[in-house]
Amino acid sequence: MKTADRYLKFVLWSEPDAAYVGYCPDLFPWGGVCHGASEEAAFNQLCALVREEVDELGQNGRELPEPTTRPMREAVPA
């Protein structure tokens, strides 16, 4: 598994933006980081941004944030 694959990535439709918006909360906690006319376009752009961020952090010797965001289907009941 590639390091970038460890991070949850998802795309949602944004009515105010009239576009699909890509999110990766563990790397970009401030919100959506890309837009696309289709889910596929936004997701492809998001994957590229995540790979770039992981590569850049590694090249600069910075520690990668621990991936903590998980899909709901992996939630453990209390």
Is pLDDT above 80 for 9? yes
pLDDT higher than threshold 70 for residue 78: no
Residues 29, 61: Cα–Cα separation, whole Å: 21
pLDDT exceeds 90 at position 7: yes
Does the global pTM surpass 0.75? yes
Question: Are the C-beta atoms of 54 and 3 separated by less than 8 Å?
Answer: yes
**What tens digit of pLDDT does each residue of 15-70 get?**
999 999 999 999 999 999 999 999 999 999 999 999 999 999 999 999 999 998 77
User: How many C-beta atoms surround the C-beta of residue 21 within 10 A?
Assistant: 19
| Token digits of residue 33 | 């980081």
Pairing verdict, β 10-14 and 19-23: antiparallel
